[in-house]
Structure 1
Amino acid sequence: MSTSDKSTLIIHHPYTPPEDFLAPQPGIYKASTVFFPTVAAMRSREWKDKTAYTYGLHGTPTTYVLEERLCTLEGGLQCLLVPSGLAAISLVDLSLLTHGDDIFIPDNAYSPNKALAEVELKGWGVTHQVYDPMNPEDLARRIGPRTRVVWLEAAGSMTLEFPDVCELVRICRQANNGRGVVSVLDNTWGAGLAFNPFDLNGDTSLSVDISIHALTKYPSGGGDVLMGSVITRNHALHTRLKLTHMRLGLGVGANDAELLLRSLPNLTLRYTAHDRAARTLANWCLGRSEFAQVLHPALPNSPGHAHWSALCGTELGRAAGLFSVVFDPCYSQSQVDAFCNALHLFKLGYSWGGPISLVSPCDLASARQTWPTHVAAGCLVRFSVGLEQVEDLQADLAQALDQCIKSA
């Protein structure tokens, strides 16, 4: 190249750094355009098997590394990254469903999952049914030849009941005279740590087909990243999802991937801390007369405790840092709202998994087809326990109860 123009010289500078640089964190690669050395390489490079790079949307060294580490976390073989947990749900539905198909969603699912089926999927000619996740027979007798996908969630959204995941997966595998239907687990609560979705009860033949994960929660850990993943062990299924992923133009930013890679090494420590603090507070709430029920899978009287114990271990098994309470029916919604407003350390906010504890009053009646028989009547409030000192959080709950409930 012969030029004296500094702009051109800087843009096309020939220097490349040596390749043998190693550090605790992997390098961060930002790119839309990817260069090819020759036309032949441009025509022959394959991105779908991660053997090469073609365009930033299809993967960079940064996203490839993150995908492989997430596969290790959840026990999968293939991973796709998307901009949010809800985007992961949408990718699965859009890839696997078409006009005339039927999809099953548990009544305790993340509400936007239902909303997607009620509006967009319905508009495209896909029907949906809501089933009782705590009654596997309800699913078994209703699956039909048009059923293509069954969603699972453990533990359930807001009420945290724990279904018999193994039995639900068996039903999916045996459906339609053994042809089966695709089972998809929202594994955000388990985070790849509470149990292995692809190796249920130590039986690799008993596994979900797809695990989706809102990486926004525990893998991020900072409350500052939106991202999701779709993980499989079936190559054909992964390829179908990946092609839809490409056609929809789904991608994640390199800086967000960097934050996930930085947080993953301490995920187990954080999850354990959240878990221990949540159990301490849930057990404390059991002794408060203001609550008609405390919901946490590790509590012996919580719905589905036996299923949690069987899948996640004994009482020493893992559980996320979430629990919910149902206030005694004598307390009005306005009193419960005042309690939430009176909390200092627990902040009002959506999501969970970050360092700051959160509280959210839940309108369970509008979120479920019918009020669950295993949940007491009353106003429901969900807590996400952060990383504050648990004694401080307990004191915060106590002062808010004394101020707004006892004095009312």
Structure 2
Amino acid sequence: MPDSHSSKGDRFATRLSHAGRAGTKVRAFVNPPVHRGSTMLHVDCADRFAGGNQLLQDPMYGVMGNSTHHALENVIAEVEGGTHCQVVSSGLSAVTTAMLAYLKSGEHCLMPDSVYGPTRIFADGMLRGLGIETTYYDPVIDAAGLQGLMRPNTTVLYLESPGSHTFEVQDVPALAAVAHQHGAKVLMDNTWGIHHFQPFAFGVDASIQALTKYPVGHSDVLLGSITVADPAEWHRVRLAALALGQYASPDDCWLCLRGLRTMSVRLAQQSASALAVAEWLQTRPEVKQVLFPALPGAPGHELWKRDFTGACSLFGVVFTPDIAVTATHAMIDALRLFGIGASWGGFESLVLPTSGYLVRTADTGDFGGAAARFHIGLEDTADLIADLDQAFTALHER
């Protein structure tokens, strides 16, 4: 019996604490156990062949998932305001599984030019090899501009808001309306938005997340999810995941469940610290621009304020043109509390040099100058600012 606290009437932190559990009025352990297994035994042959819904709801084999998977899927659906969720082995697996569920040979996909790099590689490589064409569009395109890019064979509009590394905020409801007008489905990478952006309230058909980030929260698990709010979309995603053999380790699912219980307080602290650090960086003469939608005056702030209820702690920094890339590398090397690494969403602060790394093919800007991406962790905000302050000295010594 689901817990009565896991209802739409409760606030997010309460629902996150109680979702996916047996309840409070039961004789049971607080946390659901880890279930591992490959072979499912049946009472008899009639039981083995009973019912026609095994692929969707009554697993016959371990790859179809078990109660540990389903507990996590219930929580993620709760987080994003959906009804059904499919967990897979990584965030990139969620991207590729969703795209293969919605695209076939001869069809056309529209994708923002700011998209996550591995998603672009998948589109330009595997999708192209399957006869699926991808057109990259300006991430800040308006509805009229998108109308001009739609084709009779456009079946997927892909969104990522904010954009990877450059953090452009998209007008999701306006763009989704155009896609639906043409019969296309809307897929969105909502990893940055987590629960602060409720995708199905804005016209998204399938929401993708790298649970590796804030849901796990400890930089030790790779996991992804595809969430929907329509049973028809669920069948489509579920069957694609099974056909591709997409399976998430139950141990990883359990670790993600544990991480989710504290996500609301971690996010609140980290986003507050990120805003403080971003405001401080904005005052530095070496910084041309801080790319953080939650920062007043930053690109996309008004759309963020309209559609989001909060922010995570990931943002970009563009240095002034006179700052050499080698100087920013010296600064990054001088940081004591920021690790140099990809991914984000854990408890630790990270920095990633992005100079020369960004790919653009739709003439949507020059991103060849000195830049870096920062993830703000759970360290004391004053210590992080002090560390950045001393690192700027190294920048000027180059």
Q: Same fold (TM over 0.5)?
A: yes
Structure number, greater radius of gyration: 1
Provide the residue aligned with 2:71 in structure 1. Answer: 65
Moved over 6 A (4+): none
Provide the residue aligned with 1:9 in structure 2. Answer: none
| 1:295-323 Cα shifts (integer Å, max 9, x gaps) | 110122211111001111xxxx4111011
CA distance in 1, matches of 2:204, 2:115: 16
CA distance in 2, matches of 1:370, 1:171: 20
Provide the residue aligned with 2:156 in structure 1. Answer: 149
Q: Residue 182 in 1 paired to residue 185 in 2?
A: yes
Task: Flag the 1:288–1:129 CA change in 2: closer, same or farther, 3 A.
Answer: same
Aligned pairs for 1:75-86 (under 5 A) are: 75-86=81-92
> How many Å apart are 1:371 and its aligned residue?
6.5
Tell me, yes or no, if the aligned pair for 1:76 and 1:232 is still in contact at 8 Å.
yes
Provide the residue aligned with 2:124 in structure 1. Answer: 118
Provide the residue aligned with 1:173 in structure 2. Answer: 180
> How many Å apart are 1:97 and its aligned residue?
1.3
Which one-letter code corresponds to 1:326 in the other structure?
Answer: V
Task: Flag the 1:148–1:370 CA change in 2: closer, same or farther, 3 A.
Answer: closer
Provide the residue aligned with 1:43 in structure 2. Answer: 49
CA distance in 1, matches of 2:110, 2:378: 36
Tell me, yes or no, if the aligned pair for 2:162 and 2:170 is still in contact at 8 Å.
yes
- SS of 2:148's equivalent in the other structure is helix
CA distance in 1, matches of 2:267, 2:251: 23
Tell me, yes or no, if the aligned pair for 1:328 and 1:377 is still in contact at 8 Å.
no
Provide the residue aligned with 2:17 in structure 1. Answer: none
CA distance in 2, matches of 1:273, 1:91: 33
| 1:56-112 Cα shifts (integer Å, max 9, x gaps) | 110111111111111111111111111001001110111221111111110111111
> How many Å apart are 1:324 and its aligned residue?
1.1
Provide the residue aligned with 2:303 in structure 1. Answer: 307
| 1:98-155 Cα shifts (integer Å, max 9, x gaps) | 1111111101111111110101111111111000120223322111111111110111
Tell me, yes or no, if the aligned pair for 1:326 and 1:376 is still in contact at 8 Å.
no
- SS of 2:289's equivalent in the other structure is strand
Moved more, 183-192 or 165-174: 165-174
CA distance in 2, matches of 1:397, 1:128: 40
CA distance in 2, matches of 1:300, 1:92: 34
C-alpha RMSD over aligned residues: 1.6
Q: Residue 26 in 1 paired to residue 32 in 2?
A: yes
- SS of 1:292's equivalent in the other structure is strand
> How many Å apart are 1:390 and its aligned residue?
0.7
Question: Kindly, what percent of the aligned residue pairs are identical?
Answer: 36
> How many Å apart are 1:345 and its aligned residue?
0.6
CA distance in 1, matches of 2:131, 2:170: 29
Which one-letter code corresponds to 2:211 in the other structure?
Answer: L
Task: Flag the 1:216–1:149 CA change in 2: closer, same or farther, 3 A.
Answer: same
Q: Find 1:195's aligned residue among 180, 194, 197.
A: 197
Q: Find 1:387's aligned residue among 378, 381, 385.
A: 378
Tell me, yes or no, if the aligned pair for 1:213 and 1:229 is still in contact at 8 Å.
yes
Aligned pairs for 1:2-401 (under 5 A) are: 21-45=27-51, 46-50=53-57, 52-136=58-142, 137-175=144-182, 180-192=183-195, 194-200=196-202, 207-312=203-308, 317-363=309-355, 366-369=358-361, 372-373=364-365, 378-401=369-392
Aligned residues: 371
> How many Å apart are 1:329 and its aligned residue?
1.0
Tell me, yes or no, if the aligned pair for 1:329 and 1:377 is still in contact at 8 Å.
no
> How many Å apart are 1:48 and its aligned residue?
3.4
> How many Å apart are 1:372 and its aligned residue?
4.2
Report the TM-score, using the length of structure 2 for normalisation. Answer: 0.90
Report the TM-score, using the length of structure 1 for normalisation. Answer: 0.88
| 1:21-69 Cα shifts (integer Å, max 9, x gaps) | 511111211010111111111111533342x331111011111111111
- SS of 1:352's equivalent in the other structure is coil
Consecutive unaligned residues in structure 2, runs of 5 or more: 1-25
CA distance in 2, matches of 1:238, 1:149: 16
CA distance in 1, matches of 2:115, 2:367: 19
Which one-letter code corresponds to 2:387 in the other structure?
Answer: D
